[in-house]
Chains A and B, each alone.
Chain A
Amino acid sequence: MSATTHAHTHDHDHGPPKGLMRWVTTTNHKDIGTLYLIFALVMLFVGGGMALVVRAELFQPGIQFVNPDFFNQMTTIHALVMVFGMIMPAFAGFANWMIPMMIGAPDMALPRLNNWSFWLLPFAATMLIGTIFMPGGGPAAGWTLYPPLSLQAGDSFPFSIFAIHLLGISSIMASINIIVTILNMRAPGMTLMKMPLFVWTWLITAYLLIGAMPVLAGGVTMLLTDQFFGTSFFQAAGGGDPVLYQHIFWFFGHPEVYIIILPAFGIISQIIPTFSRKPLFGYDSMVYATAAIGFLSYIVWAHHMFTVGMPLAGELFFMLSTMLISVPTGVKIFNWLSTMWRGSLTFETPMLFAVGFLFMFSIGGFTGLMMALAPVDFQYHDTYFIVAHFHYVLVPGALFAALGGAYYWLPKWTGHMYDETLGKWHFWLSTIFVNLLFFPQHFLGLAGMPRRIPDYATQFADWNMWSSIGGFGFGLSQLLFVWVVIKCARGGARATARVWDQPNGLEWTVPSPAPYHTFEQAPDVK
């Protein structure tokens, strides 16, 4: 990738420094975007490896490969790595690469802060993953870190808390940068309601991050002071209440869900119009729906804790407000479908991932509606049904959108077309295996299999076996993606500036690969 960008810097008075220091000191939004994306890809395999340890252990009933405590560390760190180390940095990478190009800005508004936001991540991730090798092992109480269980961790406890602090600081700084860029750096004529939807979804995501991340930081700081400084926020013995932690955590946790999915919505909203050869249907309603989802995300948190012992009024409020979210989400789904309606559709790999997203994210949305029903949730709570639900919205949902976005913009980033045949293979293998992996977990959950348990009753054996086969198949299929990316970075058919037949947006007006500096002269936006 770097070789091709060098070739285009000769007409500037300064090029990027050579070698490793280029990447350490860079303040270029494209370099930092690349760093984010590569980091996310590495973390996909780190977190995925942990998931495969879990699936290997669950292949058969009984304890086969790992002891239960290590199993719990794997589920916990897998989730933390995937949420904070993989999917959020992946979308931050897209934001860095694409937002300045989409709004006609020369770079992000705060380039040095940008460098710092990224470089906190590898250190935070190393700290978090390194806890596995500490005496007593890493955090094992689930990614939600509920006390009192999370307080019984060994030496790793403060390390995992500080790692979460660093990850949070990184994403707050990135959000500030994104908001300032979008609000202050748009090219003349690029009004807010002309911005591509990906920019809009990130603007709202960034506000959600600034609202939610500090609350998590506060919650885990309370855990820390409870453990080491004698406070009693959550210690019942000192008059605290562990349930309070759940409220604080999910006050962050539910906006976090939309922090992950809104940029995915944005990417899908860029891909579908291009391959339908029609403008996005209902642009204004898409913007308002995104804002509505952002607002609602702050008032539904207790639906994660229906079984905690709430009064009826509370259960009703959180149940109804949760179901309300399906209205703006439905607006989005139907707008995407209407965009495709009577379009001249072609199914290149990005479009395949986008259509796959539409189908499978909706499955996850429907199971979400099932669990929004408080009385029904009492049966599903903490079973494999919830595991199936959130993996459907996160893997064939958020991850598929990220993969689709990568295929969509790879020609713009590298200047080469990716291998379409391999891309299609990647999509179909991923889709088949991801359904084999997660669909049986619905049945397991309805039959009563609890989550976060390394062993299970023999009646669950068959579906667990299929799920594990799906897991290994899905994991191995992602190696194909790595190969496609490497192949595309090294060479291939030259991409034109427009890349696709009828793409929309400023990023398609600059050459492919995008020069190191773009839009130093603001473009004219009509």
Chain B
Amino acid sequence: MGTADEIRRSNRSLTLRLAAGAVAMFGFGYLLVPFYYLMCDVIGIGGRTADAVAAAPQSVATGRHVTVELVGSVNESAPWEFRPKIATLDVEPGRLYTATFSARNLTDLPLTGQAIPSVAPATSARYLKKTDCFCFRAQPFAPTETRDLTVQFYLDPELPQYVDRLTLSYTMFVKPAAEG
């Protein structure tokens, strides 16, 4: 221990460094956001399908059969009616399929919907490829409008053999106004 003055100076510099550490950790909390999505992309988790348009499938007759269940739901009693037209599809990996969902705006106001996809089991999400999807875009609806929404997808033949059933679900949200 040195003189009182030295101690005061060293207290001050250590305090400032520790406070800077706390501020840096606050920033680190925000850094976890991009890091999380990076990890999800690298490992292929999160149950999300890629937002990007996939190339058309190389047609391979695999002779394999996978059941794809389609689910449409709304959250927080959002004013939609939203359901798949067919609940299950028998899918051969490598071939292109089209699934249709029916959506209705239950209000008397124009409404913009945004569907968010999720795949279960989550680890299979990266094998479900979409060449086109209503979820790629916001969907504007006129008051009380009913419309069909379609998704074109195929299963990558690389899909692990033990997966014989997967669920593709969409949740229809009202797009937040701030997002335009």
Residues of A within 8 A of B (CB): 109-110, 113, 148, 152, 172, 175-176, 179-180, 183-188, 210-219, 222, 229-230, 232-233, 235-239, 241, 243-244, 247-248, 251, 309-314, 522
Contact = CB atoms under 8 A, between A and B. Distances in A.
B13 to A, nearest CB: 10
Best-buried of B7, B18, B75, B171 by chain A (most CB within 10 Å): B18
Contact of B32 (A109, A237, A247): A247
Nearest to A113: B15
A210 B25 contact: yes
Interface stretch (B42-50, B59-67, B103-111): B42-50
Interface of B: 1, 7, 10-11, 14-15, 18-19, 21-30, 32-33, 36-37, 43-48, 75-76, 114, 116, 120-123, 171, 173-179
A214 B26 contact: yes
Given A188-B1, A239-B116, A309-B46, 6 more contacts: A180-B18, A184-B10, A210-B21, A215-B28, A229-B178, A309-B123
Contact of B45 (A187, A188, A218, A310): A310
Contact of B25 (A176, A184, A214, A243): A214
Nearest to A109: B11
Contact of A176 (B1, B22, B173): B22
Given A237-B114, A237-B174, A251-B32, A176 B18 contact: yes
Contacts of B43: 311, 313-314
A90 to B, nearest CB: 22
Best-buried of A232, A311, A522 by chain B (most CB within 10 Å): A311
B118 to A, nearest CB: 9
B175 to A, nearest CB: 6
5 closest A-B pairs (Cβ-Cβ)?
Answer: A218-B29, A230-B178, A237-B173, A214-B26, A214-B25
Given A179-B18, A180-B11, A215-B29, A522 B1 contact: yes
A310 B137 CA distance: 28
Interface of A: prevailing SS: helix
Nearest to B28: A215
Interface of B: prevailing SS: helix
B22 A218 contact: no
A241 B46 contact: yes
Contacts of B1: 184-188, 522
A222 B19 CA distance: 21
Given A180-B14, A214-B26, A238 B32 contact: no
Nearest to B10: A184
Contacts of A213: 22, 25
B179 A232 contact: yes
B116 A211 contact: no
B123 A311 contact: yes
A236 B114 CA distance: 9
Contacts of B123: 309, 311-312
Contact of A247 (B30, B36, B75, B175): B36
Given A235-B176, A248-B29, A309 B36 contact: no
Contact of B33 (A212, A216, A233): A233
Nearest to B44: A311
Contacts of B22: 172, 176, 210, 213-214
